[in-house]
Amino acid sequence: MKRILYCALAVLITGNLITSCSKKNDNSGSISVQELLNYYFVDVHTVNNKQTLCVLYFIKDGDSILAVWDKAGARRATKLVIKDNKFVFDLDANGSVIYSFTFKRDSAGGVGVADANFKQASDPQSRMDAGMIIKNSDAPALAGRVLAYQVPGADDETRMHFATGGQWSYDDYYGSSGALSWYFIGNNIGWKADDPAKGGTSMGVVVPKWNGDEPMMLFQTNINRLNAGVVNVAYYQ
């Protein structure tokens, strides 16, 4: 039987999936900014009844460590400062869009997230629907791989091909699109294509699991033929 390759995010996100890969956790132990270089945080939030895929990752920039926030078509960065295991990211530096995190030490000695929140002042109902902190080393490989999903209502699967030379293509239910440019984000934990004229504004983030045990990629795009405007789920072939 052919596997159904798409899922609505309302189904994938059951409750507040703020978790790490460890099964047992405690809150003891301070988390350092250096440790977070080894992690990324994937989340889906809702503003004005629209879901958006985002990823937060950490990079070294000279003597500083930066927190970098990405979504399709936008990027923000700030110096990473942790106080009492808490980190607050004011995305536009004016209080209009706020991320807040409380980190914790898990039983394996790694980093977990005790609490994470998202708020946009223009929408009192804005919220983080789900999020997951993941070690960079646990991210499934992307370059040279093929992932597939199914657009609701389509008869055939759409396959996304990520070549190793910075090109990606898709074979959708109407035919092949040809090659488009892409680039890695973070420590090879995802990809972006930010050229609307040559391939649309798109972003994908790989995860070892998301409410399940199967490696997959969450992605969002403005390419209509790829199910634009929603958070899609593609599985490794």
What would the pLDDT profile of 5-33 be if each residue is shown by its tens digit? Answer: 333 343 344 334 555 444 344 455 799 99
CA dist 151 and 153 (Å) reads 6
In terms of domains, do 182 and 88 share one? no
Residues 122 and 166 in one domain: no
Q: Residue 199: its pLDDT value, please?
A: 67
Say which residue, 170 or 177, is predicted with more confidence.
Answer: 170
The percent of residues in the chain predicted with pLDDT above 90, rounded, is 65
Check whether 204 has a pLDDT greater than 80: yes
- Average pLDDT estimate for 39-57: 96
pLDDT tens for residues 74-129?
A: 999 999 999 999 999 999 999 999 999 999 998 889 999 999 999 999 999 999 99
| Strand ordering across the sheet containing 39-47 | 18-19, 127-135, 39-47, 50-61, 64-71, 74-79
- Asked if residue 117 and residue 72 are part of one domain, the reply reads yes
Domains contained in the chain, number: 2
Domain span holding position 216:
145-236
Confidence at residue 5, expressed as pLDDT on a 0 to 100 scale:
36
User: Cβ contacts of residue 118 below 8 Å, gap of 6+?
Assistant: 43, 45, 97, 98, 99, 126, 127, 128
User: CB atoms < 10 A from the CB of 164, how many?
Assistant: 9
Residue 136 main-chain phi, psi, to 5 deg:
-55, -40
Supply φ then ψ for residue 63, to 5 degrees. Answer: -90, 0
Q: Are residues 114 and 166 in the same domain?
A: no
Could you tell me if residue 11 is inside a domain? no
Q: Is 102 a member of any domain?
A: yes
Among 118, 136, 154, the domain-final residue is: 136
